[in-house]
Amino acid sequence: MIRKIFGLKKEIILVALILITYLANSIFIFPYNNAVKAVTYYYGSKGNVVGNIQKKLKSWGYYNGSVDNIYGYQTFTAVKYFQSKNGLKTDGVAGDATLKALGIYTKSSSKTASKSQDELLLARLINGEARGEPYEGQVAVGSVVLNRTRDSRFPSTVAGVIYQPGAFTAIVDGQIHANLEQNSLNAARDALNGWDPSGGAVYYFNPSTATSSWIWSRPLIKIIGKHRFCR
């Protein structure tokens, strides 16, 4: 009987040790592993990706320091400025969401992930700029963004074009974060698949709300709904 009790105690102790080990791993080791997998850049980071962050921010007017591949104070404040203007968590850390908004995809990101992020961002821009417009006009707005990526006067990525300071009203007034409609997603896909109802336009505007006299000087290609699409 004593041996049975002693054996039972040993089993209880063994089970307790297993549970303690599991809890320790859950609390200390597993989160560390996940943190290692997460790609983030912050004050003090160095390398080519940091240089890429600096180039993007510099070309869009958020950063005026040198591209030295070092995440210093100027880079930190520039990232915070970019985040604050684009509805991101304003912490100065270039994590997954900020990198995607900058159009930067690390080695851990697949081409498929990059394409899906472009599609979602383009859909949000269309949603913010052309909600309620004819479907053809929504696709045309998406096409303007894509046409700009192929024009040397503009950034070469979807994110770069969309977040270029002052380029789109939806960024300024926050409409890019409005509830996303299915039509906007469909329009983004059609634009990415090559449909260009704009006829190669790199500008569009609503004549009833436009405040720039310069935009009227752009050669008109066509009118779709309330928007004039121009070269």
What are 94's strand-pairing partners?
41
- Per-residue pLDDT, 26: 41
Domain 111-230: which CATH class?
mainly alpha
Domain ranges of the chain: 1-37, 48-102, 111-230
Tens digit of pLDDT per residue, the chain (231 long)?
545 544 555 566 644 554 554 444 443 333 333 333 457 898 888 899 999 999 999 989 999 999 999 999 999 999 999 999 988 889 999 998 899 888 887 655 445 555 678 899 999 999 999 999 999 999 999 999 999 999 999 999 999 999 999 899 999 899 999 999 999 999 999 999 999 999 999 999 999 988 888 999 999 999 999 999 999
Q: Give residue 211's pLDDT.
A: 83
Q: What pLDDT score does 24 carry?
A: 45
User: What is the reported pLDDT for 29?
Assistant: 37
Q: From the CB of residue 33, how many other CB atoms can be counted at a distance below 10 Å?
A: 9
Task: Report the predicted TM-score, pTM, of the whole model to 2 decimal places.
Answer: 0.56
Q: What is the pLDDT of residue 117?
A: 83
CA distances from 40 to 47, 63, 77, 151, 218 (A): 12, 19, 16, 31, 42
CA angle 6, 23, 36 (to 5 degrees): 145
CB–CB of 113/99 below 8 Å? no
Rounded Cα–Cα distance for residues 77 and 15 (Å) = 51
Position 210 scores a pLDDT of: 85
What's the pLDDT at 13? 60
